[in-house]
Structure 1
Amino acid sequence: MKNQGIFNISFLFLFISNFLVFIGFEMLLPILPAYLLSMNASSIQVGLVTSLFTIGAVLIRPFVGYYLIDNQRKSLAICASAALMIITILYPYLNIIWLILLLRLFHGAAWGVSTTANSTIVVDLIPKTRLGEGIGYFSISTTVGAIVAPSIGILIYDSFSFDILIWSSAVLSLLAVILLQFVYSHNNVKRKKKPFRFLDMIYEKDVWFPALLTVITTLGFGAIITFLVLFGKQKEIDHIFLFFLINATVSTLLRPFTGKWYDKKGPWSIIIISAMLGFLSLFILSYTTNDIQLIIAAILFGAGYGTVMPCLQTWTVQKVREEKRGAANATFFSSFDVGVGISAFVLGILAEWISLEMIFRFVSLSFIVVAVLVYKDYINKSKA
């Protein structure tokens, strides 16, 4: 791009569109299980609400990554946001639980297309010399959107109705479609590409290392979203929402600094230091009994986890050629989904045997593993 600035019109419209998509999708997450329970769904069926959307997202991303190699990315993003709107509107009209679960699979697929396409477009819009900084800024739309959306969804559902929640989500998707019309996305050059192989596309081999780090890092995030509210009730901490609010605020405020740090120094030092902050956050959280300790843990988690994830995404797309950025982004987001899934499953089993305090201490070690692996990679690169 001729303009070496990050905040051009296309970036801003894509940022807002992605923010609306995240709010519209994530605001349904805490409500759909309760909605199915009101329909007398079994515990297995309620669990499938999350599992099926994850499966749909992971399975579709290899196809999206392959498509994005030489096809128009903007049109795919628009179609995905439109699909999210249409699928959302259908929920109140389905009175059979298994039809809702099937719809959830397609909802996850549309989500997988949207997140991959948007993240690939934004990489095209950011100057290569400022990629870390630019992705750091853009990831604010996902971080803040994902954190505020559940509270908005619960508020609308409790104050109004499920139907109002659904239409609110659909309107946000519609606005996202409109905003995407103003995003410039260059036409991809038609390239000769290998025949599609699902197993090859679900895992982009050139980015295996940051993908592995993403899975390990996400274990800590999975512990937070799965057990923090329950932990707060056990410890009688009334303002547990402060953790999510402060985490989002700190990670957002640090993005300009951490993004520039990444672009100047590379991924190694910033990821190692941020991972250690993530370790301290979960370790302190495990001993938390009051709001002050909760705030300290939240600040450290925002600085740690909130910095590591955009750095890993930047590292992922930097490891591939331009035409493979879609596949790289697909691998990154699939690694995130796998990490959350593994965390919920494994830690859910462990929670039957050990306390939540021990859960947080145990999963804090995942950040130590990330720091050690990145340091080892730095040493190997230095020798090479």
Structure 2
Amino acid sequence: MTVSLREVNKKILGYVSLTFLGYFTIGLSLATLPIFIHQILGFNTIIAGLVISVQYIATFLLRGYAGKIVDTKGPKVSVLRSMLFFALSGILLLFVFLFKSQPFISLGLLLITRLFTGIGEGLVGASPINWALLELGDEHAAKAISFNGIASYGALALGAPLGVLMVDHISYESLGLLTCAIGILGYLYSKSKTPFRVIAKKTSTVSFKRVLLTVAPFGTCLALGGLGFGSISTFMTLYYEHFNWQNGAACLTVFGAFFILTRLVFNKVIDQYGGLKVALVSLFVESLGLLVIALALHPLWTLVGAALTGLGFSLVFPALGVEAIKKVDQSQQGSALAAYGLFIDISLGVTGPLIGFVANNVGMTGIYPFSAIMVSIGFAVVGNLLYNQRPKLA
């Protein structure tokens, strides 16, 4: 039976809305935690970066496990567990803020909170994509990956400024309560959806390590591109504070808006031109955006830079992801997407302490020139992959 384009879009949106709920809980505290750690608790930028990065380390460690669950038990199990961890992280976040007068206790609770958030992210990750593909088929992979990215970064772009507004006009504690409520809502919504349990196939077992090595060239480029997003999401509010500018969270919103707009407008270019060509152009635009931020003398120009960075980074994940899953058998797609996703976790996990180190030793003004250089290296690596993919002359 042929499914209409409208029905395909509707079904994919139904699954990636779960991604939206998960990442919205992450976004709520994304712009507020660096300032909370640095200004309220009194710890330096390296500590702030390390604490934020605990989430991505936990996500990194859970990707393989999540991929195995998706390939054996189905994505619904993974998503349900993720929502429980998001709800638990909300409860812990409430206690983090309640103990803010005791910095070391608050910081310790925050480390556990970030760990639970990372577990939730690792479990939800690519699970909705696999859920959609189980129902609709692999021919919709590029669209499912793109829509999932719109959901995740759109959620971050909406959640971050909302979190700042809640802190300014209500309280820090309200973030914990809302995070818990969204986690419970996501759990109930996930439970209502059709499982599409995976039917075991008699195929040769391929280790996660082998799958990881197969997708590593594409994942490495993704990781380098992810540094641009990581530097904006983790340090932009502190960057604005350094220059006494207002509303640093707006950069994340602008980034997210252009990220989403790019995926909506250019949703067919990967199928038309191939993943590597699209990734090459995307990384060039992203590095240009970071350079604009680095040279900005007024907050308006940082918004322009954030827009270019969002426009550039938007198609990096799906472009390279489509190339990555072509390299594995259909029965290993869950593991392949999980392995590929590891590289963005590595990127975001390293970004916190690495950029914190740059800020602490070079100064805040060194953050975005450094990020632009790292993304440019990713551009060069993709160029090399594209060059090696060319048909050889006889």
The bucket for the TM-score relative to the shorter chain is 0.7 to 0.9
TM (norm. structure 2) is: 0.83
Structure 1 equivalent of residue 56 of structure 2: 54
Deviation at 1:52, TM superposition (A): 3.2
Give the Cα–Cα distance (whole angstroms) in 2 for the partners of residues 350 and 55 of structure 1. Answer: 20
Name the amino acid aligned to 2:371: V
Structure 2 equivalent of residue 109 of structure 1: 119
Q: Which moved more, 1:79-88 or 1:25-34?
A: 25-34
> What is the aligned counterpart of 2:349 among 341, 346, 361?
341
**Aligned Cα RMSD in Å?**
3.2
Structure 2 equivalent of residue 26 of structure 1: 27
1:100–1:273 distance in 2 versus 1, CA, 3 Å: closer
Structure 1 equivalent of residue 223 of structure 2: 215
Give the Cα–Cα distance (whole angstroms) in 1 for the partners of residues 93 and 311 of structure 2. Answer: 38
> What is the aligned counterpart of 2:268 among 260, 269, 276?
260
> What is the aligned counterpart of 2:336 among 282, 303, 328?
328
1:1-384 to structure 2, matched below 5 A, reads 2-3=2-3, 5=5, 7-31=8-32, 49-92=51-94, 97=106, 98=108, 101-102=111-112, 104-125=114-135, 127-192=137-202, 200=209, 204-238=212-246, 240-383=248-391
Deviation at 1:144, TM superposition (A): 1.2
Give the Cα–Cα distance (whole angstroms) in 2 for the partners of residues 140 and 76 of structure 1. Answer: 20
Q: Is the 1:14–1:122 contact (alpha carbons within 8 Å) kept by the matching residues of 2?
A: yes
Q: Which moved more, 1:94-103 or 1:14-23?
A: 94-103
- Runs of 5+ unmatched residues, structure 1: none
Q: Is the 1:215–1:336 contact (alpha carbons within 8 Å) kept by the matching residues of 2?
A: yes
Give the Cα–Cα distance (whole angstroms) in 1 for the partners of residues 324 and 331 of structure 2. Answer: 13
What is the DSSP-based 3-state SS (H/G/I as helix, E as strand, rest coil) of the residue aligned with 1:27? helix
Deviation at 1:182, TM superposition (A): 4.6
What is the DSSP-based 3-state SS (H/G/I as helix, E as strand, rest coil) of the residue aligned with 2:76? helix
Deviation at 1:211, TM superposition (A): 0.9
Name the amino acid aligned to 2:26: F
Q: What per-residue deviation string (whole Å, max 9, x for no partner) do you get for residues 291-313 of structure 1?
A: 44334323321211122233233
1:233–1:153 distance in 2 versus 1, CA, 3 Å: closer
Q: Is the 1:217–1:367 contact (alpha carbons within 8 Å) kept by the matching residues of 2?
A: yes
Name the amino acid aligned to 2:288: L
Give the Cα–Cα distance (whole angstroms) in 2 for the partners of residues 367 and 38 of structure 1. Answer: 30
What is the DSSP-based 3-state SS (H/G/I as helix, E as strand, rest coil) of the residue aligned with 1:189? coil
What is the DSSP-based 3-state SS (H/G/I as helix, E as strand, rest coil) of the residue aligned with 1:186? coil
Q: Is the 1:16–1:176 contact (alpha carbons within 8 Å) kept by the matching residues of 2?
A: no
Q: What per-residue deviation string (whole Å, max 9, x for no partner) do you get for residues 314-364 of structure 1?
A: 333333222222222222332112112222223322334434444322321
Q: Is the 1:124–1:185 contact (alpha carbons within 8 Å) kept by the matching residues of 2?
A: no
Deviation at 1:155, TM superposition (A): 2.3
Give the Cα–Cα distance (whole angstroms) in 2 for the partners of residues 39 and 281 of structure 1. Answer: 31
1:148–1:41 distance in 2 versus 1, CA, 3 Å: same
Name the amino acid aligned to 1:359: I
Name the amino acid aligned to 2:73: N
Q: Is the 1:53–1:105 contact (alpha carbons within 8 Å) kept by the matching residues of 2?
A: yes
Give the Cα–Cα distance (whole angstroms) in 1 for the partners of residues 43 and 300 of structure 2. Answer: 39
Deviation at 1:377, TM superposition (A): 1.6
Q: Is the 1:13–1:180 contact (alpha carbons within 8 Å) kept by the matching residues of 2?
A: no
Q: Is the 1:52–1:104 contact (alpha carbons within 8 Å) kept by the matching residues of 2?
A: yes
Q: Is the 1:18–1:141 contact (alpha carbons within 8 Å) kept by the matching residues of 2?
A: yes
Deviation at 1:132, TM superposition (A): 2.2
Q: Is the 2:49–2:353 contact (alpha carbons within 8 Å) kept by the matching residues of 1?
A: no
Deviation at 1:234, TM superposition (A): 4.1
Q: What per-residue deviation string (whole Å, max 9, x for no partner) do you get for residues 172-215 of structure 1?
A: 12222232245445321213477796x727x6122111111111
Give the Cα–Cα distance (whole angstroms) in 1 for the partners of residues 86 and 350 of structure 2. Answer: 26
TM (norm. structure 1) is: 0.85
Deviation at 1:261, TM superposition (A): 0.6
Q: What per-residue deviation string (whole Å, max 9, x for no partner) do you get for residues 154-175 of structure 1?
A: 3223333344322211221222
Q: Which moved more, 1:373-382 or 1:263-272?
A: 373-382
Give the Cα–Cα distance (whole angstroms) in 2 for the partners of residues 277 and 82 of structure 1. Answer: 38
Q: Is the 2:166–2:174 contact (alpha carbons within 8 Å) kept by the matching residues of 1?
A: yes
Give the Cα–Cα distance (whole angstroms) in 1 for the partners of residues 382 and 390 of structure 2. Answer: 12
1:173–1:268 distance in 2 versus 1, CA, 3 Å: same
Q: Is the 2:23–2:152 contact (alpha carbons within 8 Å) kept by the matching residues of 1?
A: yes
Q: Which moved more, 1:270-279 or 1:3-12?
A: 3-12
Give the Cα–Cα distance (whole angstroms) in 2 for the partners of residues 285 and 130 of structure 1. Answer: 36
Give the Cα–Cα distance (whole angstroms) in 2 for the partners of residues 144 and 52 of structure 1. Answer: 22
Identical counterparts, % of pairs: 19
What is the DSSP-based 3-state SS (H/G/I as helix, E as strand, rest coil) of the residue aligned with 1:372? helix
